[in-house]
Amino acid sequence: MTEPKESPPVGGITWARVCKECGQCHDGRDSHLFEYQDEVDDELVCHICLQPLLQPMDTPCGHTYCFQCLSNFLHDQDFCPVDRQRLQLQQCRASSLLVRNLLDKLAVLCPFHSECQQSMQRCELQPHLHNRCPAFRRLREEAERKKRPSWNELKGSKSDGDLADAKSTPIARTGQLHGPSEPGLVNPAFEEGEDDTPLRSSLVAEATVVELFREDPDEDLGLRIVGGKETPLGNIVIQEIVRDSLAARDGKLAPGDHILEVNDVSLASIPHIRAIAVLRQSCSRVRLTVMQEKGFKPRPEHLAQPSASPPSQSPNPNQNHGTIIQVTLVKRERSEPLGIKLIRKSEEPGVFILDLLPGGLAAKDGKLRNNDKVLGINGQDLRHGTPESAAQIIQACEMRVNFVVMRHPDLSEEGGEGQSRGARRVPEPQYFRRRSEYMKEPPVGFSSQEKTVSLKKEPRHSLGITIAGGRDCRSRLPVYITSVQPVGCLHRDGTIKTGDVLLSINGMDLTHLTYNEAVTILKTQAAQNTVTLQVIQTFAEEEEEQDGESRTREDIDTLEEPKEDDINWAPLWTRWLGLPSYIHWCRDIMLMKTNSESWGFSIVGGYEESRGQQPFFIKTIVPGTPAHFDGRLKCGDEIVAVNGVTTVGMNNSSLIPMLKLQKNKVTLTVVSWPGSLV
């Protein structure tokens, strides 16, 4: 069998030499290089490198330099380069947001302009390279092809024909937002036709700065996060916005946002526990730099494919999660009320229609109905919004108000009067009692250990533990210990710890129970003279910090222990990753689309030469795609099977063709753990 021919390097540049942020070749300690289209104002130029400022820093004496330039200069000197006043780096501060925004908007050319003639704002260059530049993508794919084990090495019995077919399948990818591209990062959101013509236009990602202000410096931001350098995700990603939290009230952050910096502290390539420490720091103002996916750019009309529009414009009545409907209401005057009552539900995020007032504009129109879930109004995403934010959008509208709503099939049939106002889709009947059938190892660096405690006690004495979880809770967690009371029997023994998952008591299995069932059995068995309790404890490998700020074991324990008044405490996201497969509870999620649509999610994981076999995780969900509108997939979810076929043992070359072959429908079996709360 002949190996596919490799294209020559672009201008002699190789993947190892090219900078993954600016696309140029330079020494690691040097500043990034850009090709600017226009003359740059002298006020925006660094006095050391004489180039437009990068990460500008202001000195107390009133001068501004690139952070890298100033850092290198002050490594050998102790004065300002311009006026020679005494200066130390810690005395300098990041320049104002206005200056940084002006610099971010400078127009630059793609460094691979011999193949890619694109120009863009400077802040958009890195997303362009990793998501849209064909030359940069080719360099990355050639490097991964050299490192990737062959199909035969993984499967052992494939023919040359199968191997050639797997290698020839077009694979599109996105790169890491910071640092080098990750092996195993793939993106089914970028699908290609048989003639290699993209069915979707380029994906838009923007770096955004969000500032949150809190009266109580210790108030939670209301974010659940996943990721970290010790996990396949690499970056720190927002999994969920907690309802009624500071972040939810602000409304600018969204699930899937990648957090790049917090108060000018980079979260690139740091462990999950360190990111938690940075995000939980006590302060009144929190400044977050995030990378946000904005969806796909509209394609030129002459290239547009039929049905390539978002579900809001092409409703699919067979959509598994409900029918997407677009409704436009036209007001006679701007102040005319629509006659809609909006509510939120405790069991599901988002905004729902509670009632349509008789005689109101919406009731007369007749297209909106009670219990419709509002996905968007006039292009504003409300999938995780609030009734208050929806009301503000409606009030700001002129004459036309465009609704995109989801209607569940059981509520759109005749006879809906019998449905209660709080009715919702009934979960899959097998969901609560379904053990995982897919055996696999935890991610590299994560493990668990079973522990058994047998003790004799007086029947009236309490075990002294509190629990949470249960298979009926929102995240379908196993029952776990939230506290070990100082007065109880288990505290004196010292084996049982906060965060341990309960397996059994006196031989009675606790792993499949709801919360109330577990409480009942624990109380009954604790009344015995002899109690044997079996639990499982998980471990996450603590990686050494590169900057010398390694955390002590006590610091880590402090971050993971519940606060005194925290009644909703749960272990960090990384602690769940170490659980063995028999503890996992799986969920089947069926997505549907048209031939020309992408599924709309990116994944990381699979076989990596440096780390071996890794699980596949959802890293990004693209706005305006089936995965986004379905609403059940979350960043950090682990894909354990596709259409019933396990992903264990797969690498990119085997999983991507499987996803691409599913033209209209795919069933993903996923395991979902709640992100760490900050």
Chain centroid to CA 204: 16
- Say what the pLDDT of residue 221 is: 92
Residue by residue, DSSP assigns 622-652 as -TTSHHHHH----TT-EEEEETTEE-TT--H
Domain boundary among 121, 139, 157: 139
**For position 28, what pLDDT does the model report?**
65
Residue 247 token pair: 């972040």
Q: HEC string of 399-421?
A: CEEEEEEEECHHHHCCCHHHCCC
Residue 539: what are its φ and ψ, rounded to 5°? -135, 140
Tell me the helices (H) and strands (E) count for the chain, helix number first.
17, 31
468 and 518 inside one domain: yes
- The CA distance from 62 to 443, in Å, is 49
**10-residue mean pLDDT series, the chain (678 residues):** 46 74 77 86 88 90 90 87 88 86 89 84 83 81 62 38 32 36 44 42 73 89 91 90 87 89 88 92 91 66 40 38 80 84 78 87 88 86 82 82 80 36 37 54 82 84 85 83 82 83 90 88 87 88 46 53 62 89 86 78 76 83 83 90 84 75 86 90
The answer to whether position 146 is within a domain reads: no
Burial 487-526 (b: 16+ CB within 10 A, else e): ebbbeeeeebebbbbbbbbeeeebbbbbbeebeebbeebb
- Give the end of a domain, one of 540, 564, 594: 540
**Is the domain of 277 the same as that of 328?**
no
Question: Are 287 and 334 in a shared domain?
Answer: no
**Residue 118 within any structural domain of the chain:** yes
In this structure, the answer to whether residues 123 and 212 fall within a common structural domain is no
CATH number where 327 lies: 2.30.42.10
Do residues 346 and 258 share a domain? no
Whether 592 maps to a domain, the answer reads yes
Q: Cα torsion for 455, 456, 462, 468, to the nearest 10°?
A: 30
Q: What is the dihedral of CA 128, 132, 134, 137, to 10 degrees?
A: 80
Instruction: Encode 199-233: b = buried (16+ Cβ within 10 Å), e = exposed.
Output: bbbbbbbebbebebeeeeeeebbbbbbbbbbbbbb
Alpha carbon 79 to its chain centroid, in Å, reads 43
Residue 588 is part of which domain span? 573-677
Considering only CA atoms, which of 317, 216, 228 is closest in space to residue 270?
228
Number of domains in the chain: 5
* pTM, full prediction: 0.56
Do residue 289 and residue 349 come from a single domain?
no
Q: Tokens 């405690």 sit at which residue?
A: 453
The distance from CA 34 to its chain's CA centroid, rounded to whole angstroms, is 30
191 near 180, Cβ under 8 Å? no
- Kind plus residue range of the DSSP H or E element containing 98: helix 97-104
DSSP state letters, 36-80: ESS---GGGB-TTT-SB-SSEEE-TTS-EEEHHHHHHHHHH--B-
Contact partners, residue 111, CB within 8 Å, separation at least 6: 22, 23, 24, 33, 35
Residue 26 lies in a domain: no
Q: Please, what is the end-to-end C-alpha distance for the chain in angstroms?
A: 53
Same domain assignment for residues 466 and 506: yes
pLDDT of residue 448: 85
DSSP state letters, 340-406: EEEEEETTEEEEEEEEE-TTSHHHHH----TT-EEEEETTEE-TT--HHHHHHHHHH--SEEEEEEE
In a domain, 171, yes or no: no
Instruction: Report yes or no on 612 lying in a domain.
Output: yes
CA triple 482-485-489, angle to 5 deg: 115
Give the CA distances from residue 103 to residues 71, 108, 179, 287, in Å, rounded to whole numbers and listed in that order.
19, 11, 21, 18
Name the domain boundary from 407, 430, 463: 407
Asked if 583 and 531 sit in the same domain, the reply is no
Is 4 among the domain residues?
Answer: no
DSSP assignment, residue 91?
Answer: G
What is the structure's pLDDT at 223?
93
Residue 467 forms part of a structural domain: yes
